[in-house]
Copies of this chain bind each other. A is one copy, B any other.
Amino acid sequence: MHDIAINEKIMAKNSAFAEENRSLLAKQGIWAINLISSPGSGKTSIIEKTIESMGGEKKIAVIEGDIQADLDLKRLSRFNIPVRQINTGRSCHLDAHMVHHTLAWLLEQGNIDILIIENVGNMVCPAEYDLGENMKVSVMSVTEGDDKPLKYPAMFHASDCLLINKTDLVSYTNFDMERARQNARSINPDLNIIETSCTSGDGIDQWLEVLRSGSAHNPTTGAADAADR
């Protein structure tokens, strides 16, 4: 972000790829979410819980974004669903161009209902890059503290849905759930906030409803999708 002209050029290129991704996904009836959080908030556990709890109701594919390594891809291999790794190298976020390169692979999988893109663990830059998703979902865990929406507002501002995760640990911390909700809503009054725990199962049904309802309303053309946004 050192040079405004360079930044604008990067963002314009990203937006063009994002619109192409969104249009192509919509034509295939694939509803996509972009999952964003800091490292260790529980994104992969939420994906595991989602696949387990949904059974075969929806056909899910996953793109795993990581700086390097494929630990999360290996974690998901037991589910026998389509999973693809993107290693970003030194880049601290996925961008629409990287996702664009996975689309041919995705289409080969046939009849996918929901694409979950797990972004690189980072509360800052991923929020700025539209990947062509239908919904941005952010995750924060109670162990990170209730002040995070005020310190990293971009992620909360850009998201449609916030999962406040690891609620099973809340009684061991000084996390104030009401204050966290107020902080998040002060940045984004329209945020759909769900309290979740992959250990206790809290809130998972509510989260699955968001996925069901989103994917059920998936437009079948890119044009309709763009108009919805």
Contacts and interface: CB of A to CB of B under 8 A. Distances in A.
Contact of A152 (B67, B123, B128, B166): B67
Copies per assembly: 2
Interface stretch (A47-55, A143-151, A215-223): A143-151
A121 B152 contact: yes
A68 interface: yes
A: contact size bracket: 35 or more
A125 B140 CA distance: 20
Contacts of A154: 67, 90
B147 A166 contact: no
B124 A143 contact: no
Given A69-B150, A150-B71, A40 B143 contact: yes
Contact of A151 (B69, B123, B147): B69
Contacts of A133: none
Contacts of A141: 40, 143
* 9 nearest A-B residue pairs (beta carbon): A40-B144, A92-B124, A143-B143, A38-B38, A38-B39, A1-B90, A1-B91, A40-B145, A39-B123
Given A38-B121, A169-B169, 9 more contacts: A2-B10, A2-B91, A40-B144, A66-B151, A68-B153, A71-B151, A90-B154, A168-B172, A169-B173
Interface of A: 1-3, 6, 10, 38-40, 66-69, 71, 89-92, 120-125, 128, 140-141, 143-145, 147-148, 150-154, 166, 168-169, 172-173
9 contacts: A1-B89, A39-B123, A39-B148, A40-B143, A40-B145, A71-B147, A121-B123, A143-B143, A169-B173
